[in-house]
Structure 1
Amino acid sequence: MKQQTLKSICLSKDVPELFVDVQTQRVFPDSKMFADASPKMDLCSIREKYLKLKNEQDVDLVAFVERHFDLPLDHDMQLSTEKMDVWTYIDQLWLTLTRRPDFDNSSLLHLPRPYVVPGGRFREIYYWDSYFTMLGLAKSGHVDLVEDMVENFASLMRNYGVIPNGNREYYLSRTQPPYFALMLQLLAKLRKNERLLLGYIDVMEAEYAYWMKGQERLTHSGDAHSRVVKLKTFFLNRYHDDLNEPRPESFFEDKQLEKQLKANKVNLFRDIRSACESGWDFSSRWFADKQDFSSIETTRVIPVDLNCLMHELEATLARAYTLAGNDDQATRYQGFAEHRKQAIQELFFNPEQNWFCDLNREDASFRPTKTLAAAYPLYSELATAEQAAVIAEHLQSDFLYPGGWVTSTARSDQQWDFPNGWAPLQWTVYRGLRNYGFEDLARKGAEAWLKNVTALYSRTGRLYEKYDVVNTERFADGGEYQNQYGFGWTNAILLKLEEGLNEQSQ
């Protein structure tokens, strides 16, 4: 895989003294603001000026930053809602969220084609967000933009050897849930051309190699290297950032957490970063103590949802090689997919709880937190009929609330826990239930979410990143930043659930 010379910057490395001072002194309430800034001149010159000034006198950090950097601008997502229903609003919002290829000297990684950002503080493309956004773009008739997004992710993999968390230099040490194979399936369906897969075999192969790197080193159950783990006779995957240092985009938050520790935690920053790789940043599913962020142990967790997505990648590679006439490779990847399906059914299903659970790396024991990750085996059609039936029962009794499906039954201060609901998981549960014939329950969940989201839109004129599904009169909170609005995957899943409900009514 050819590696591209980075044309973007990372202020934490290029002007480290200034970066640390700006972040630790909280010049901006959101650490991401300075991480995304663009220098007005050569960074070596800025650093030299800063160090000289700092040695001579107290520095007015705000004035220095304003003089030497352009700060990122957030696009206005608030359109007039007068006489505008939510569907018209979404159609107009796609234009607001679309970015054109550009060249600048910020931390942005260049993309060759137009792309859609989530909104708010998220000014760049995000990997797993984009799959759900693409579902909505397709429903809105923007098929060319779906293809543009696929090409952008292929470009990132071919140029950097990874589809990063987002197209920022500081995200290159981690990826996100591997949805590229599902993106290809979507595009092939839209173009009515399954042979389209053939043009991206190299990208899928590279992504698979990225996740399975170090597999040959693992000999005993519980062994792990990077993102691959051996459990019993199975090779499975976990989240694992390549770096163990504070996140540039959340530098202040990470350093504050480090100060609160009562004892040194060797992999604190890697575990934080690895949770970001999961997209569930943050959830008590990654914690040893549900109420203690500092107990985060993401790299110890073998997530059920990640391994379902890896099955999708293996099965799609098998299909692509079949189309290419390469029976040996098709058989090889089909074998990987079947072996992983066996692991999903045998290792991840907890017969005492009747639930698909995450696993602990060392001994394959079940993690205690119950989350909507359990819907992924239904979404990917990997569960047995008996397993799907008991999952559906527990979804109805433990997870369905007036505003939709709650992310987990654990109550914490984290945004991916009770009482919050998230658009991508609403879709995952909806499709998973329908895959196994639970039409009425799927409808109930979809109707609850649609009512919640559209009611809040009527009150505020905005579509949000996350929602409180327990008390629908309340704005969702939790996490490191305020609830953002825009919002790519919320817009998309609103469209798709409405489409699904109409389909069910026919």
Structure 2
Amino acid sequence: MSMTIAADNMLATGGAAPDVAHVAPSDVLTPADRYQELFVAVQMGRVFDDSKSFPDCVPCVDPVEIMRRYRADHRLPGFDLKNFVTRHFARESVPAEHYVADTQQSLAAHIDSLWPVLRREPRHHPANSSLLPLPYDYVVPGGRFSEMYYWDSYFTMLGLAESGRRHLLTSMADNFAFLVDHYGHIPNGNRTYYLSRSQPPVFAMMVDLFETHGVQPAIRYLPQLKREYAYWMECAEDLAPGEAARHVVRLPDGALLNRYWDERDTPRDEGYLEDVDTAARSARERGEVYRDLRAGAESGWDFSSRWLADPSDLSTIRTTSILPIDLNSFLYKLETQIEKLARAHGDAATADAFASRAASRRRAIDRYLWSEKDGAFVDYDWRLGVQREGLSAALAVPLYVGLASHEQAHRAARALESRLLAAGGVRTTEQASRQQWDQPNGWAPLQWMATRGLIRYGEQALGREIAHRWLATVAAVYEREFKLVEKYSLHRDIDAASGGGGGEYPLQDGFGWTNGVVRKLLDEHPEHEANSSRAGS
């Protein structure tokens, strides 16, 4: 942490900056950077079934020595790549859980008992691995996701607060502040291979949660909020109409809106073989495809027909050509949060500047991301100059952050109800596809934002209905399988509810943000029968 950043923290908090002296210096080489041709051989040879496995492995000896041995041995007769990897790398160990399932637990009690299982501590960060050290404890999603994720964590925190885990809210809050201070942004997750991108910028919403639950005063995080904003808006001032750079696009009328982006244009470390195969099916330059795949991963919606020219073909992905309604809504929230905190801190000039930026973004959203035809918020293809066809559950995010007008909110409610509402909750999109962020899947964060966004604008009945349908879906799977999962397939009959499918990896159990949203909804809807759910009932 630089002296400037430390001083900025002290100014904001009126005290000392968090003590992060015990955090080891970060080695930011990704596994692909570090192991080069060995990395390519392992991934293309499918030594592991899951492309994420090797990037998460821990070297048993110094990586330089591993590469020396590999380069000396790999051309020798009888060289066995899998055996070499087994001798030189260890699968990352998961801390002992001591977790025994109790089939008599209620759904809420089951979630409460999972937090220790999903908790990780800095002392478990192995040397020379891809895991970025953090100063404080944190919660992971579960399954193959054994690191802290950015936007996942906000929804996980909802449940931590309800479970009385305020100490984890505090530690995670300061972990995110540490990441901004250390790297200039909050990466996708605390892995070196995630440093080239972020995820949906929800730190401004986390700050509200911290203050609501008495974790930390919001003003403490004003410096980090401003740095995150600078990351998302870098290069904006230099753009002429019709130009784009990094995360920012200046439209023909001079308005600024944002897109998802990644610094790299190479295959993702954690999806190497899949990305190579996808790019090989495209006539476009491979680097363009790789960057669009990476930008799709930054969106959190990895992957969805929202980003595809052809819903049936992932190789037609064009994420960087699309201005998403959810991203721009989150950035509107960030602008208004900075305005509010700066004004409370007595910095009227900064407050006025961010009020102006928020107002400009809202006008641009009204012009480009509101569809009169659909009566809903949509995405915009800035390269083609057209709004994207089809609705997605992202249309509720402007309601969640409070940027919609009352007329827009009520029209959006009707569109969501008529086109996305299913027996088990809100479908992710209208488009059925092989991608996991499409119909028929439903995801916990989208249910939460739809529910609360609708209630915010007086649509209590619909908001409550979505919450109840989602709780019924989760409870049905819990009673049958005694677990919560990453996503759910929303069938016509809730009794047939099941874990979701699609995407590039199997369905994951755990699961952080499902636990968080469900725990919060159970508390808000004590009358719902999901509160009495038991496994096998």
Question: TM-score, normalization: structure 2?
Answer: 0.90
Contact 2:210-2:218 within 8 A present in 1 as well: no
Structure 1 residue 89 corresponds to structure 2 residue 113: no
Superposed CA deviations along residues 268-309 of structure 1, whole A, max 9, x for unmatched, are 000000000000000010011111110000000000110110
- 1:38 is matched with 58
What does the per-residue CA deviation read over 1:75-105, in whole Å, with 9 as the maximum and x for residues that have no partner?
A: 7797423211211111110010000112422
State the Cα distance separating 1:240 from its structure 2 match: 0.5
SS at match of 1:331: helix
Q: Which residue of 2 aligns with 1:488?
A: 512
Question: 1:468/1:111 Cα in 2 relative to 1: closer, same or farther (>3 Å)?
Answer: same
Specify the alignment match of 1:16 in structure 2: 36
Q: Determine the structure 2 residue equivalent to 1:319.
A: 340
Q: Which runs of structure 2 are paired with 1:57-72 in the superposition (5 Å)? A: 57-72=77-92
Alignment of 1:253 with 2:281, yes or no, is no
**Residue of structure 1 in register with 2:431 after alignment:** 410
**Aligned counterpart in structure 2 of residue 452 of structure 1, from 469, 473, 485:** 473
Deviations 1:323-359 (A, max 9, x none): 1111111111111112212222332111011111101
Contact 2:99 2:117 in 1 (8 A): no
- Residue 500 of structure 1 is aligned with which of 499, 524, 527? 524
> Which stretch of the first structure deviates more once superposed, 495-504 or 165-174?
495-504
**Aligned counterpart for 1:163 among listed residues 169, 172, 186:** 186
Q: Aligned partners of 1:192 and 1:294: how far apart in 2?
A: 44
Give, in whole Å, the separation in 2 of the partners of 1:286 and 1:59.
Answer: 42
Distance 2:273 2:454 in 1: 41
Q: Distance in 1 between matches of 2:184 and 2:354?
A: 21
Q: Is the 2:166–2:215 contact (alpha carbons within 8 Å) kept by the matching residues of 1?
A: no
Query: What is residue 15 of structure 2 aligned with on the other side?
Result: none
Q: What is the correspondence of 1:194-233 to structure 2 with a 5 Å cutoff?
A: 196-220=217-241, 222-231=242-251, 232-233=253-254
| Equivalent runs, 1:92-491 vs 2, <5 Å | 92-102=113-123, 103-105=125-127, 106-191=129-214, 196-220=217-241, 222-231=242-251, 232-262=253-283, 264-362=285-383, 364-471=385-492, 472=494, 473=496, 474-491=498-515
Offset of residue 58 of structure 1? 3.7
Offset of residue 238 of structure 1: 0.5
Distance 1:278 1:262 in 2: 24
CA contact (8 A) 1:132 1:424 kept: yes
SS in structure 1 of the partner of residue 222 of structure 2: helix
2:442 match: secondary structure = strand
CA gap of 1:77–1:318, structure 2 versus 1, over 3 A, is: farther
CA distance in 1 between partners of 2:351 and 2:528 (Å): 36
Contact 2:134 / 2:175 at 8 angstroms: preserved in 1?
yes
Aligned AA (1:395):
L
Q: Deviations over 1:209-268 (max 9, x none)?
A: 100000122111x31110011122321111000100000111111111122234544400
Per the alignment, do residues 242 and 129 of structure 1 end up closer, same or farther by CA in structure 2, a change over 3 Å counting? same
* 8 Å CA contact 2:204, 2:225 repeated in 1: yes
For residue 57 of structure 1, report the CA deviation from its aligned partner.
2.2
Once residues 38 and 147 of structure 1 are traced to their aligned partners in structure 2, the CA distance between those partners, rounded to angstroms, is 29
Q: Distance in 1 between matches of 2:412 and 2:480?
A: 35
Q: How many residues align?
A: 502
The aligned amino acid for 2:211 is A
SS in 2 for 1:56: coil
Deviation of 1:428 after TM superposition, in Å, equals 0.5
Instruction: Decide which moves more: 417-426 or 472-481.
Output: 472-481
Q: Please tell me whether the aligned partners of residues 132 and 492 of structure 1 are also in contact (alpha carbons under 8 angstroms).
A: yes
Q: CA deviation at 1:43?
A: 0.8
- 1:56 partnered with 2:80: no
Q: CA deviation at 1:470?
A: 2.4
For structure 1, which segment, 417-426 or 391-400, has the greater mean C-alpha deviation from structure 2 after superposition?
A: 391-400
Q: Distance in 2 between matches of 1:53 and 1:269?
A: 31
Equivalent pair of 1:170/1:248 in contact (CA under 8 Å): yes
Give the whole-Å Cα distance in 2 for the aligned partners of 1:486 and 1:314: 33
Q: Is the contact between residue 223 and residue 362 of structure 1 (CA under 8 Å) also seen in structure 2?
A: no
d(CA) in 2 for partners of 1:271, 1:419? 24
CA distance in structure 2 between the partners assigned to 1:30 and 1:469 by the alignment: 26
Segment of structure 1 superposing worse, 81-90 or 158-167: 81-90
Deviates more, 1:96-105 or 1:306-315: 96-105
Change in Cα spacing, 1:504 to 1:83, as seen in structure 2 (3 Å) is: closer
In the TM superposition, what whole-angstrom CA distance separates every residue of 1:412-452 from its partner, at most 9, and x where no partner exists?
Answer: 10000000000000000000110111111111111111011
Q: What CA distance in whole angstroms lies between the structure 2 residues aligned with 1:266 and 1:53? A: 31
Q: TM (normalized to structure 1)? A: 0.95
Secondary structure in structure 2 of the residue aligned to 1:229: strand
CA RMSD of aligned residues (A): 2.0
Contact 1:181 1:316 in 2 (8 A): yes
Q: Give 1:6's aligned amino acid.
A: S
Aligned-pair distance for 1:5? 5.5
Calculate percent identity across the aligned residue pairs.
Answer: 42
Specify whether residues 77 and 31 from structure 1 end up closer, same or farther in structure 2 by C-alpha distance, changes over 3 A only.
farther
Instruction: Note the alpha carbon deviations across 1:139-183, whole angstroms, 9 max, x for none.
Output: 111112111111001101111112100000010000000011111
After TM superposition, the structure 1 stretch with the greater mean CA deviation from structure 2, 53-62 or 325-334, is 53-62
2:342, 2:78 → 1: CA distance?
63
How many angstroms does 1:59 deviate by?
2.2
d(CA) in 2 for partners of 1:62 and 1:266? 29
Query: Matches of 1:289 and 1:74 in 2, distance apart?
Result: 39
d(CA) in 1 for partners of 2:331 and 2:25? 29
SS in 1 for 2:488: strand
For residues 409 and 385 of structure 2, the distance between their equivalents in structure 1, rounded to whole angstroms, comes to 22
Q: What's the CA shift for 1:363? A: 5.5
